[in-house]
Amino acid sequence: MTLPTTEEILDDLGFFDSWEERYKYIIDLGKALPAFPDELHTPERLVKGCQSNVWLEVAGNNQRLEFIVDSDAIIVKGLLVLVLAAFNEKSPSDILDFDIDGYFQALDLERHISPTRGNGLRAIVAKIKGIAQATQ
């Protein structure tokens, strides 16, 4: 599956008049995530700090990191696509340099998700940035 870019997501969200429509779009993004192999649903792949279960696996090398993700919550799967649009198949330095706060502000996301979902989103971002830092 080819994930949308951050620009495509921002453009697509701009077409919707309400947050209810935007939520549906985000949920639909999550439905398009590739299947996460059952054998990777392990405790060491769980991202700590998330309200829902989120599993993260990384592949690739110092040039480009590829992430596969899963969650047991459908809205979180969509939020994971928003994060992957920013970080997947990028170099560690590109991941560390990306203005994720600016991206989230442009999405106007954090005003429309619960504080616990926001904390989980930050935990996922921190985990990916930690992987990028360790890979550099």
Active site (catalytic) residues: 50
Q: Do residues 114 and 34 touch, judged by C-beta distance below 8 A?
A: no
* Residue among 54, 56, 63, 62 nearest 134 (CA): 62
Measured between alpha carbons, how far is 116 from 60 in angstroms, rounded to an integer?
30
φ, ψ at 22 (rounded to 5°):
-65, -40
Exposed / middle / buried, residue 31 (Cβ in 10 Å: 0-12, 13-18, 19+): exposed
